[in-house]
Structure 1
Amino acid sequence: MDRGLSSHQRSLRGSAAARAALRKASGLTARVLVVDHLGSARSPLAGVLRGAGYDVVLVGSGPAALAALEQEGADVLLTDLYMPEMTGWDLTRVVRARGIAGTRGRPLCVGLYSAVLSGVSRALLARAQVDFAITKPGDPETILEAVERALAWAEVA
Structure 2
Amino acid sequence: MTPDGSCPPWGRPPVVDTIGCGFLAIRARSFEFSMSLRVSDGPLVGIAGRAYTGRMSDPKSEASRILGLRLRRRRRQLALNQEAVALLAGLNVSNYARIDRGHGNPTFHTLIRLATVLGLEPGDLMTGFSAEQLPPTRDSLTRSTGSTWTGQIRPT
- The TM-score, its normalising length taken from structure 1, stands at 0.20
Where relative contact order (Cα < 8 A, 6+ residues apart) is larger, the structure is 1
TM-score by structure 2 length? 0.20
